[in-house]
């Protein structure tokens, strides 16, 4: 691993701790200063690891996806002022997940066998029971269903990676599951009005771990020719 990649990776870890640890003690004054640059520091580590050897479309897709997530982070900082910021942040994360899925599916060459087809069908069976837990109606319910289905497909990609013999598939699956936990904790507060101690720290901690797991898996797998 390049020294520059290590430095950028350590920077992401340091910034994550600077953000999450104070939140554990109820100190939120640092959070607005650190949150906008968290994913950007992880993006720097990813690009330093991939470039200049890997300049293809998959590198671009990964970078664009991470930029969408960075934008989503910034938009969600203002969700308490106007619900439109929450909706825009959700949209930014959704677009970022589309980019991630495109990278994860690259070179898989379609589904092979009934067990892989079943893996791709399962999320469709799970999405509405999950969404029914949240108190949303109308168009917002459909949007939440699409977002949830997208996260479930990120998890399905992790399962497919493992079925194909890729050892890093567990990172993709774990990353998707941590993303689901993080977004669920956020959603039950926004839609159901449920709050609990350390919720903010739990949301950020699981989210940052999810991003690291997903991005590190995609970078290490070297699907970037």
State the total domains in the chain: 1
- Residue stretches of the chain with pLDDT short of 50: 224-225
Give the relative orientation of helices 83-105 and 199-221 as an angle to the nearest 10 degrees.
Answer: 30
Residue 222 is predicted with a pLDDT of 61
Residue 146 is predicted with a pLDDT of 95
Distance CA 144, CA 187 (A): 9
Domain housing 92 = 3-221
pTM of the model: 0.92
**At residue 21, what are phi and psi to the nearest 5 degrees?**
-60, -50
Give me 77's structure tokens. Answer: 């900082």
SS (HEC) of the chain: CCHHHHHHHHHHHHHHHHHHHHHHCCCCCCHHHHHHHHHHHHHHHHHHHHCCCCCCHHHHHHHHHHHHHHHHHHHHCCCCCCHHHHHHHHHHHHHHHHHHHHHHHCCCCCCCHHHHHHHHHHHHHHHHHHHCCCCCCHHHHHHHHHHHHHHHHHHHHHHHHHHCCCCCHHHHHHHHHHHHHHHHHHHHHHCCCCCCCCHHHHHHHHHHHHHHHHHHHHHHHCCCC
Radius of gyration of the chain (CA): 17
Residue 221 is predicted with a pLDDT of 80
Residue 139 is predicted with a pLDDT of 86
């Amino acid at each position: 691993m390049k020294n520059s990649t290590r430095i950028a990776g350590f920077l992401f870890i340091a910034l994550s701790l600077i953000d999450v640890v104070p939140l554990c003690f109820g100190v939120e004054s640092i959070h607005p200063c650190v949150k906008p640059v968290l994913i950007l520091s992880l993006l720097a580590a990813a690009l330093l690891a991939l470039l200049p050897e890997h300049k293809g479309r998959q590198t671009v897709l990964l970078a664009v996806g991470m930029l969408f997530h960075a934008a989503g982070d910034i938009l969600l900082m203002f969700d308490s002022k106007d619900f439109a910021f929450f909706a825009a942040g959700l949209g930014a994360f959704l677009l970022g997940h589309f980019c991630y899925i495109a990278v994860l599916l690259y070179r898989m060459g379609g589904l092979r066998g009934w067990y892989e087809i079943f893996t791709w069908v399962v999320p469709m069976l799970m999405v509405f029971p999950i969404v029914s837990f949240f108190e949303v109606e109308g168009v917002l319910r459909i949007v939440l269903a699409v977002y949830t289905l997208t996260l479930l497909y990120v998890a399905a990609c992790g399962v497919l990676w493992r079925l194909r013999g890729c050892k890093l598939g567990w990172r993709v699956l774990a990353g998707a599951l941590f993303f689901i936990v993080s977004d669920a904790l956020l959603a039950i507060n926004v839609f159901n009005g449920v709050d609990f101690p350390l919720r903010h720290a739990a949301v950020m901690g699981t989210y940052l771990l999810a991003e690291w797991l997903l991005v590190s898996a995609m970078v290490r797998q070297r699907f970037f020719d």
